[in-house]
Amino acid sequence: MANKDEIIKMAKEAILEFDGEMAEEAAQEGLKAGVNPVAIIEAFTSAMGEVGVDFEAGKLFLPHVLAASEAMNAGIKILKPEMEKNKSQIESKGKVVIGSIEGDIHSIGKDIVASMLGIAGYDVIDLGRDVPIKTFVEAVKEHKPAIIGTSALMTTTMVNQIQIEEQLKAAGLRGTVKTMIGGAPCTQDWADKIGADIYGESATDAVTKVKAATGA
């Protein structure tokens, strides 16, 4: 049986090689060896971060990013039942609705933030990518989250983050939820300009700020 270090290494390699079967194998081996699922997911997200850096540098392209994301999701699917079991013993720190904004099919950053928030003990409702504004508003009505987060990877789609603010106000919901934005073209200035409560510069920064905002 593989030891923890070997399993963590395999988990990282699976993402860097876009290999869903290897990710599943790393997850299964990890569970058999009694490795904390969180450690395996952190290995996945660490490798996903490397993929993101290479993508930004032009060394990898969108199909690579999507393949890496699919590999990570395949591994996480194996770990989820065990994590749900553990989660039921821990009180949730609150709900967070998250998704890539309408018109944006990029999900790498959003996937990493969603995974890390789940690891941190939040109940994450991931709406996916290219999510219509009205779906975010409906999700706030339905789930009553503490925070709603939108990711935009293009300047052409980040303008839709203004619509989130406007439509939440129009629905009388803006005062019930904090808004968070993130993604490559987003900045603190942009968050201030549109009235968003939180700007997540990176996945780690987003989780830190969500913890501060929810008092967790």
Identity (one letter) of the amino acid at 65? V
pLDDT of residue 1: 66
Q: List 147's β-bridge partners, or say none.
A: 96, 178
pLDDT of residue 90: 63
Q: Do domains 4-87 and 95-214 have the same CATH topology?
A: no
For each of the chain's 216 residues, which pLDDT tens digit applies?
Answer: 679 999 999 999 999 999 999 999 999 999 999 998 888 988 998 898 788 788 878 899 888 988 998 999 899 889 888 877 766 666 778 999 999 999 988 787 888 888 888 878 899 999 999 999 999 999 999 999 999 999 998 888 999 999 999 999 999 999 999 999 998 889 999 999 999 999 998 888 899 999 999 987
CATH class of 95-214: alpha beta
pLDDT of residue 87: 65
Of 171, 200, 186, 213, which Cα lies nearest the Cα of 98? 200
Three-class HEC string of 121-146: CCEEEECCCCECHHHHHHHHHHHCCC
Dist CA 134 CA 115 (whole Å)? 24
**Every domain of the chain and the residues it spans:** 4-87, 95-214
Dist CA 40 CA 58 (whole Å)? 27
Cβ atoms of residues 191 and 198 within 8 Å: yes
At 64, list the tokens: 């690579």
User: What dotted CATH number matches 4-87?
Assistant: 1.10.1240.10
Dist CA 123 CA 126 (whole Å)? 10
Identity (one letter) of the amino acid at 133? I
